[in-house]
Chain A
């Protein structure tokens, strides 16, 4: 299966620490977006990477940063962790260009990384 792969699946960190989450996109996809999903909430857009650059950013502080590699995989880094950063972090891959309205559309989500900050 060439779906989106995220690692690790679970992570426990202490306040103030730094964390790196990883995402490998679906085969053929070139764009990676990161979302934060707090318990009981919908996913919130963090940022999107395309051609190794941050193309768009949501309303998240600079403690959240990322990177995209030439093979389209991506990392999400969070510095100075706060208790409120505890959430499910989802990665979604897609194609950066235009597409047709068909069942193959779209964004493919990974299973996420569950981050707990204590």
Chain B
């Protein structure tokens, strides 16, 4: 069965700290790994990763994928209170000729001022 595990499940840090969120997966027919930020309801897209070792960056956020060890990390530097959210890792898997997203449980990140 396809599985995605995130750690930690919850993290509380002070504004300005750097955080690293982890995502490991066991999925057949891997296509891509995606990171989402969920503040209230709709998850919003952060990154899509398909190749190992290529870092993707967007401002203070960055992410990298290791397809050999089957994990990804999401880094946030100089955290701000607006970064407080649930961060979801999802793996896109091809199954029965169609693609689906398999999500982890999410990491709830709280940034204290």
Contact = CB atoms under 8 A, between A and B. Distances in A.
A88 interface: yes
A45 B99 CA distance: 11
Q: How large is the interface on A (under 10, 10 to 19, 20 to 34, 35 or more residues)?
A: 20 to 34
Nearest to B100: A45
A25 interface: no
Given A42-B106, A56-B98, A90 B48 contact: no
11 contacts: A35-B101, A42-B4, A45-B100, A48-B100, A56-B97, A56-B98, A106-B45, A106-B48, A107-B101, A111-B41, A112-B42
A89 to B, nearest CB: 10
A88 B41 CA distance: 8
Interface of B: 4, 6, 32, 34, 36, 40-45, 48, 50, 88, 90, 95-106
A96 to B, nearest CB: 8
Contact of A92 (B4, B48, B95, B101): B101
Interface in A69-118: 88, 90, 92, 94, 101, 105-112, 114
